[in-house]
Amino acid sequence: MSTQPTIDPKLDIVFERFLDAPPRLVWEALTQPEHVSQWYMPKAWGRVARCQMDLRPGGAFGIDIVVGDGQEVPNLGCFLDVVSMERLVWTSMLFPGYRPAVFDDVPITAIMTLKPEGTGTRYVFTALHRNEADVAANKESGWKEGTDIALDQLVEHVASMK
């Protein structure tokens, strides 16, 4: 994936954060399971039970969470593009090895980019959706709010890594 898709505000949700840390630390926090487990799930909502990252196109992107009532929710996807310290692209529409996925959740393709900015890093997470109904479902489910909380936790976690 050499180019960034055109963002459609009706179909895509974009999150952006500035992290006061070099891209190397942000990349570690985004790609190493021991770090992802610390920030990915809003702490008041649950926790990460397992995290698997096979950082290559076709590799597994798996983060299983435990929600407040103790129910475990598996999340498995597939990396589409990996450019070290610059970009990660994954989708929940495919399982590892590009196998078609079967699930009950709203599917997305996620594009995460890192850009050096001064002494820190500009992080942009874009969630591409199939249609406006999926965008609405993600907003109504609390996914957008949870992602905002998780990204705030990412900022805090990266600061603790310095």
The pLDDT tens digits for 59-97 are: 999 999 999 888 999 999 999 999 999 999 999 999 999
Q: Residue length, the chain?
A: 162
pLDDT the model gives residue 4: 73
111, pLDDT greater than 80: yes
C-alpha closest to that of 112 among 44, 55, 46, 43 = 55
Please, are residues 26 and 121 in contact by the beta-carbon 8 Å criterion? yes
1, pLDDT greater than 60: no
Please, are residues 18 and 41 in contact by the beta-carbon 8 Å criterion? no
pLDDT the model gives residue 147: 96
Identity of the highest mean pLDDT range in 2-11, 46-55, 102-111: 46-55
Q: pTM for this structure? A: 0.92
Please, are residues 155 and 17 in contact by the beta-carbon 8 Å criterion? yes
Going from the N-terminus, what domains does the chain have, and what CATH number goes with each?
13-161 (3.30.530.20)
What's the CA gap between 87 and 112, in Å, rounded? 5
Q: Which amino acid is residue 71, in one-letter code?
A: Q
Please, are residues 91 and 73 in contact by the beta-carbon 8 Å criterion? no
Contacts 24+ apart (CB under 8 A), 81-84: 81/1, 81/57, 82/55, 82/56, 82/57, 84/27
pLDDT the model gives residue 2: 56
pLDDT the model gives residue 115: 97
pLDDT the model gives residue 3: 66
Please, are residues 31 and 25 in contact by the beta-carbon 8 Å criterion? no
Does 34 or 4 have the greater pLDDT score?
Answer: 34
What's the CA gap between 26 and 88, in Å, rounded? 12
